[in-house]
Amino acid sequence: MSDLGRGPVGILGGTFDPIHVGHLAVAESVREQLDLRRVVFVPAAVPPHRGAPAASAEDRAAMVELAIAGNPAFVIDRLEIERPGPSYAVDTLEILAAREPDPWFILSAEALAGLPTWRSPRRVIELARLAIVPRPGAAPPSRAWLDEHFPGCGNRVAVLEGPLLPISGTAIRERLAAGRSIRYLVPDAVRAYITDHGLYRS
């Protein structure tokens, strides 16, 4: 795709099980605040910090493609799906940062709290600046916390504003299993895909 501007690139990883409007709203908010050229959605194949996703990697990637189709600044990268083994962020960033030096890695405040337990967390911050977005119930990181866990890296972290939408993939899967509507929680094309492929049934 052609570049839409001269700004940096943002990277948004996740299981996207399924992708929902909260993901899209956060990505657009970060794109606007940081003047990003594009946001790259990276579906995880085998997330190392949680159980196996309910939907297959191919289904989740297909739903991401449907969800972002209307925004020319949003693209998908399937590298984690095509790479064997656990989807470690540091491995992904080694590849993506070689293509787009010093990207922004988009994380929720909740995910940031767990970053010290990730593989090579300091290398993650060396490869990409962190764009931290709020999440209901998760406090933003303090300067003291950053200095304790990542001394000298405070200038690599930006705490942003963002839409506080209390939507989660878990809640959407539970609603589907119970036969309840997910209209307006996911894009219509994603909702149709879930129905057509019989995903997340009880």
Q: Please tell me the predicted confidence (pLDDT) of residue 139.
A: 80
* 82 falls within a domain: yes
| pLDDT over 90 at 177, yes or no | yes
Residue 19 contacts residue 186 (beta carbons within 8 Å): yes
The whole-model pTM stands at 0.93
* 181 falls within a domain: no
Structure tokens at 16: 């996207």
Rounded to an integer, the average pLDDT of 26-52 is: 91
Helix (H) or strand (E) holding 105: strand 104-108
Q: Residue 142: helix, strand or coil by DSSP? A: coil
Count of structural domains within the chain? 1
CA angle, corner 153, sides to 150 and 155, nearest 5? 145
Max CA-CA distance within the chain?
A: 50
- Tell me what percent of the chain is helix, strand and coil, each rounded to the nearest 5: 40, 15, 40
| pLDDT over 50 at 148, yes or no | yes
| Higher pLDDT among residues 140 and 29, named by residue | 29
CATH value at residue 153: 3.40.50.620
| pLDDT over 70 at 5, yes or no | no
| pLDDT over 90 at 158, yes or no | yes
* 4 falls within a domain: no
Beta bridge partners of 9: 38
* 195 falls within a domain: no
Rounded to an integer, the average pLDDT of 166-179 is: 94
| pLDDT over 60 at 1, yes or no | no
DSSP type of residue 134: -
Mean pLDDT of all residues belonging to the chain: 92
* 178 falls within a domain: no
For 55, 82, 133, 190, the CA distances from 92, given in Å and listed in that order, are: 21, 11, 20, 25
| pLDDT over 60 at 185, yes or no | yes
CB within 8 Å of 158: residues ≥ 6 apart: 34, 104, 129, 130, 131, 132
| pLDDT over 50 at 2, yes or no | no
Q: What is the pLDDT of residues 84-110, one digit of tens each?
A: 888 899 999 999 999 999 999 999 999
Place of tokens 């219509």: 188
* 2 falls within a domain: no
